[in-house]
Structure 1
């Protein structure tokens, strides 16, 4: 196996399932913890995650992601294995991270569609975070998994929820429509409850896969970052999540507590949560 393949394998996380774990930076005080619980729907767990620190070209990168699949687990599993590797393959990553992340998202989606007979007809949302040397944070997303930063105890949403009603014009310009049936959420063509996603070949002409990308400088005012699937955010506000997490120093215990709170609030979906704590 060549060096690039070896490094690509290091970037992938283990297969997500019900459980939790934690880790820490080797060069600073940053720690992370995660917790994942299968929802009550009658299908296998469709959430996957990445949470790890790696050394790359003389820098330490914290790589964190949640991939929330629908109609099967093949697409989120593919993203878990390939998306970060594709981002870091971009030659201009260090000089223009935003463009590199956007290009990698689009190229990864193209690869998924070209493998659609093997990966099936499903798709996945994604929220990714790259922490460079514990100081610079780059966050991107497609869909409704979300990243929330705590700054001096105040919740700051770093991502944009890509919902059909908010991107109706884009969907209709592509020849699709948004349904709003009583008792249900808005859906693209009556099917998908997000307006951007990886995969979903049958709907792709009406969907987007380009991410929203943002960045933040991590300083003494930033306590922690929460990444979570919509199984958490459907039942909990950003500030509620921050208020719970900031009281628990161990990020694994904090992630487990957020999942437990979501279950207490009767979330039915798969629930996945990663907490990155920047300070002790």
Structure 2
């Protein structure tokens, strides 16, 4: 087993690609249906021929919506495919505005067309006094295939709808005192006389997002034997609900608010490095998951047989600091988490720790399942939209890791602010232009002497799929833009940066 992992870790640390994901699939995978055929986001309105052109790894065309009112609040969006890492763009994105009537049934949740939600609500006569209204943006960064990202982009918002509807009567209360009075009366009617916790509306929305993410992962687990759902994906959701912005993140995509010169991070990048304690502690509690081949201990350096009997700095699962440990035979197992920076891997296989899918993923040439160490549960951060009066230049930037691999929060803010200054505040395309400029800077240009894709400062640019939303915060109380897929504008050509 040790020899098996030598090449894996060597690849991870030596700059070569990691061992591909190994999955258990039916004997005839072609017998499985494809639930969602590969496509680019609906709001781009691309023809099948144009979708093929987007996969050109040589020119890497930057895609933007040509009809900006197809996105809520005329938000900006841009994307570009990778530089040959995978055949298709494995990123996906979704943006919708919802009015959910208090009396709506599950019929609405079964609709798939973006405009259906808007149309059904228009037929209610426009009485929205008892409705849940929210706006939804999401980015899904796929890996080892497009299946999980496509599944999530077409389905996650329905799980969120269902979970919000479960607590709609509480969310529709005028204040939290009345909401807790209702809960108290329900407990009394159920003959529950024990003390109860006070509940906030924020905690209900957070709970809806957290359980919806788990529901999404469970659906993929159930349907992977019926439908062809390849790989996994990370997920980043921005939910504008009431006077609050809720950002739910499971993975290494990132959301940042830019308010004037102020930078407000709205998510945490979850990586094997940042999640070392959670993953190592699970390995400590359930050593059977490691099959006696890995160790939850972390040494300052990779230990070898010649180190037996020597004292080397080490730390245990929940430790931040280091202590000296005398190396023993059992310490020669491969570390549960090993590598440096972006090349750090869980069980020498995967570089992400949260998201959807990967249910059949195993360590190379073994029966060690990796899914127990991966979590679909998101971190949810809340931003009060009434905390200040936002200007037209106050924005939320959401991006996949292809953007943030080469851009700092400061770089991103500078690039977006400079581009926004080129437009008057009432120009519809200003946020789309800023998104295109941001993605263009991260993608860079193909070096004429064969040195690959480079940024303006001659640093290597992002070779990954890149996706970015730029969402104006000042538009929260403005009428939402209609998302009409039936009469959508088809771009005449792709934008080639």
- Range class of TM-score, shorter chain: 0.7 to 0.9
Partner of 2:87: 43
Residues 64 and 130, structure 1, Cα contact 8 Å, conserved in 2:
yes
Partner of 1:220: 389
Distance 1:184 1:230, change over 3 A: closer
Residues 224 and 246, structure 1, Cα contact 8 Å, conserved in 2:
no
1:210 equivalent to 2:253? Answer no
User: How many positions carry a matched residue from both structures?
Assistant: 264
Deviations 1:168-190 (A, max 9, x none): 12222333611216x86111111
Name the SS for the 2:42 alignment partner. coil
Alignment map for 1:54-133 (pairs within 5 Å): 54-57=98-101, 58=128, 59-90=132-163, 91-92=166-167, 94=171, 95=201, 96-117=204-225, 118-132=227-241
Residues 245 and 382, structure 2, Cα contact 8 Å, conserved in 1:
yes
Deviations 1:117-169 (A, max 9, x none): 32445100010001135x32111010100110112222211001101012112
Partner of 2:466: 271
Name the SS for the 1:240 alignment partner. helix
TM-score, normalised to structure 2's length?
0.50
For 2:152 and 2:344, how far apart are their aligned partners in 1? 26
Deviation at 1:24, TM superposition (A): 7.2
The partner residue of 2:42 within 6, 14, 34 is 14
Partner of 1:6: none
Residues 390 and 474, structure 2, Cα contact 8 Å, conserved in 1:
no
Residues 342 and 351, structure 2, Cα contact 8 Å, conserved in 1:
no
1:23 equivalent to 2:23? Answer no
Q: Which has the higher strand share?
A: 1
Partner of 1:33: 76
Name the SS for the 1:172 alignment partner. helix
Task: Give the number of the structure whose alpha-carbon radius of gyration is greater.
Answer: 2
Name the SS for the 2:69 alignment partner. strand
Name the SS for the 2:235 alignment partner. strand
Name the SS for the 1:141 alignment partner. strand
Distance 1:184 1:89, change over 3 A: closer
Deviation at 1:263, TM superposition (A): 1.0
Name the SS for the 1:244 alignment partner. helix
Residues 154 and 239, structure 1, Cα contact 8 Å, conserved in 2:
no
Distance 1:61 1:246, change over 3 A: farther
For 1:109 and 1:154, how far apart are their aligned partners in 2? 35
1:148 equivalent to 2:306? Answer no
TM-score, normalised to structure 1's length?
0.86
Name the SS for the 2:157 alignment partner. helix
Name the SS for the 1:20 alignment partner. coil
Partner of 2:436: 256
Residues 154 and 242, structure 1, Cα contact 8 Å, conserved in 2:
no
For 2:71 and 2:81, how far apart are their aligned partners in 1? 28
Structure 2 unmatched ranges of 5 or more = 1-40, 45-50, 55-62, 102-127, 172-200, 284-289, 291-335, 362-369, 424-429, 445-454, 456-460, 476-497
CA RMSD of aligned residues (A): 2.4
Deviation at 1:15, TM superposition (A): 8.0
